[in-house]
Amino acid sequence: MASSADSVEAQDPYTLTADGIKEPPVGWKASLRYLGPGLILSASIVGSGELIATTALGAEAGFVILWMVIVSTLVKVAVQVELARWTIVTGNPALTGFNKVPPKVGRMSWVNILWIVLALSKFLQFGGIVGGVAVACSILLPLGGGPLSMTSMTIWTVFLVVLSIVLLYKNSYRLIERGAFALVVIFVFITIVIALGLPLTPFAYGPDDVLGGLTFMIPAGAVGAAVAMFGITGVGADEITYYTYWCVEKGYARWVGPNDGSEAWERRAKGWIRVMYKDAIISWIIYTFGTLAFFIMGASVLHPQGLNPQGNEMITTLSRMYTDTLGEWANIGFLIGAVAVLGSTMWAAIPSWSRMYSNILATMGVFDWHTEPAKRLKWIRFFTVAMPIIWGAAFLLLQVPVLMVQIGGVVTGIFLVAVVITVWYLRKTEVDPRLYGGKWFNTALLISSIAIGLLGIYTLLNVFGVSIG
């Protein structure tokens, strides 16, 4: 009789066996039921970067860099897809791949060492996300004091932390995917309302504003804002990284099966990679429109008034622009949308980061990622509890969500360069050339890599006090 451990391993998506093989669907209609990792990605992306950071950039620069929203969300998708291709072929998640890139310091690759720096900075960014949700909830329903009183925000922060732990502790992929789908539907609806609602306010925008933002120009003094836009919007280094975990847990790698070099394996690999392409395209459409809506909000409402609110005032200012023109019902609708948008980021980020933290322990030799699934789940659940507590504490201590998000964005921009280096290394050493993308994709991957490299150089120069533009 098989042991329980054998049973777990037999169903483990990170274990590739001939028993797990499944033929890929053909065409969009047949593929729809196999999409899902991109929904989790979209739930994560349309959150802090959009409601807080992108709106702030729109307030700073106006419509003039609207085109950068589209470019910045599109150009990084090729790197995301290429890393996911390697994952589907090998069954390995990103941090396992990062650890293959030389040189190493002991057991750890320099890429994973840099990832640890990124992870530490993210305590601030995700503390800002928890704070954003707490602020929106506190404005909707103050508890024990005024909307922005320490008492009310503390109560809501503690409640959100506990709720997140309770809902996500099981760490079921199906639950996480369905929750992400529900939240994505809510915030897509909200962004449509935002886009349609602004022309009804005194801050209406017109075709000339939109066309003026599509001129592919960056005026003097706006270079910094444009670079920040590129770094924060769309998929960042962390989303590119944890997309690989959801591709595995959806089943793509397991359905391809172990690489036996056969034509059947090649056919399955190409088929499931095509499904992943569709998944990535759908997620790109979702988070691009979400990003555009929030950027337009900042550019059309805040920028003409010279407003660039900081701290907890960001959400109150944004909500008041609807209250002052459409009435209190619009304020409530906006705040519910803010909770959905920022809450979706928490929903996707907690299980994603718990997997990455567990994976980094595996690369350190704490346990074997592939052969000890029970230990893997134990560590994932540990971080599911620990991380929300740390994030909530970070917000309550600092209470500057915009700055907290932006600090995480800077480090993310630097780490993106390491991700690009990893993608090219793994592509050369571990991906069967038969599975490479076509001419157009390879061109896009090259352009994406160059753009991300330039972003990293610019970010480093700014860190060391060298200003450009």
Confidence at residue 134, expressed as pLDDT on a 0 to 100 scale: 86
pTM: 0.87
SS3 letters across the chain: CCCHHHHHHHCCCCCCCHHHCCCCCCCHHHHHHHCCHHHHHHHHHCCHHHHHHHHHHHHHHHHHHHHHHHHHHHHCHHHHHHHHHHHHHHCCCHHHHHCCCCCEECCEEHHHHHHHHHHHHHHHHHHHHHHHHHHHHHHHCCCCCCCCCHHHHHHHHHHHHHHHHHHHCCCCHHHHHHHHHHHHHHHHHHHHHHHHHHHHCCCCCCHHHHHHCCCCCCCCCCHHHHHHHHHHCCCCHHHHHHHHHHHHHHCHHHHHCCCCCCHHHHHHHHHHHHHHHHHHHHHHHHHHHHHHHHHHHHHHHHCCCCCCCCCCHHHHHHHHHHHHHHCHHHHHHHHHHHHHHHHHHHHHHHHHHHHHHHHHHHHCCCCCCCCCHHHHHHHHHHHHHHHHHHHHHHHHHHCCHHHHHHHHHHHHHHHHHHHHHHHHHHHHHHCCHHHCCCHHHHHHHHHHHHHHHHHHHHHHHHHCCCCCC
Question: In the structure encoding, which two tokens stand for residue 207, read together?
Answer: 């075709």
**35: alpha, beta or left? (left if phi > 0; alpha if psi -120 to 50):** beta
Amino acid at 204: A
Mean pLDDT, the chain, rounded, equals 83
Distance CA 358, CA 376 (A): 7
Distance CA 192, CA 380 (A): 36
* Of 13-17, 175-179, 204-208, 407-411, the least confident: 407-411
Confidence at residue 259, expressed as pLDDT on a 0 to 100 scale: 92
Confidence at residue 396, expressed as pLDDT on a 0 to 100 scale: 84
Residues 6+ apart with CB under 8 A from 66: 210, 212, 213, 214, 292, 295, 296, 299
Question: In the structure encoding, which two tokens stand for residue 244, read together?
Answer: 């690989």
Q: Using the predicted structure, report yes or no on whether residue 271 has a pLDDT greater than 90.
A: yes
Residue 104 backbone dihedrals phi, psi, to 5 degrees: -120, 155
Instruction: Give the position of tokens 């396992």.
Output: 96
Answer yes or no: CATH 1.10.3720.10 is held by domain 25-463: no
Confidence at residue 2, expressed as pLDDT on a 0 to 100 scale: 39
Confidence at residue 128, expressed as pLDDT on a 0 to 100 scale: 76
Distance CA 341, CA 288 (A): 14
Instruction: Give the position of tokens 């280094």.
Output: 237
Confidence at residue 1, expressed as pLDDT on a 0 to 100 scale: 37
Distance CA 29, CA 432 (A): 28
CA torsion sign for 114, 120, 124, 125 is positive
Bond preceding residue 103 cis, omega within 30 of 0: yes
Residue 98 backbone dihedrals phi, psi, to 5 degrees: -55, -35
Confidence at residue 428, expressed as pLDDT on a 0 to 100 scale: 95
138-156 per-position pLDDT tens digit: 888 888 887 778 899 899 9
* Of 49-53, 75-79, 80-84, the least confident: 49-53
* Of 237-246, 292-301, 346-355, 379-388, the least confident: 292-301
For residue 236, how many C-alpha atoms fall within 13 Å in the half-sphere facing its CB?
A: 30
Q: What angle do CA 243, 248, 268 make, to 5 degrees?
A: 115
Distance CA 289, CA 191 (A): 8
Give the whole-number percent of the chain exceeding pLDDT 90.
40
Q: What angle do CA 425, 429, 433 make, to 5 degrees?
A: 110
7-23 per-position pLDDT tens digit: 344 478 999 999 999 99
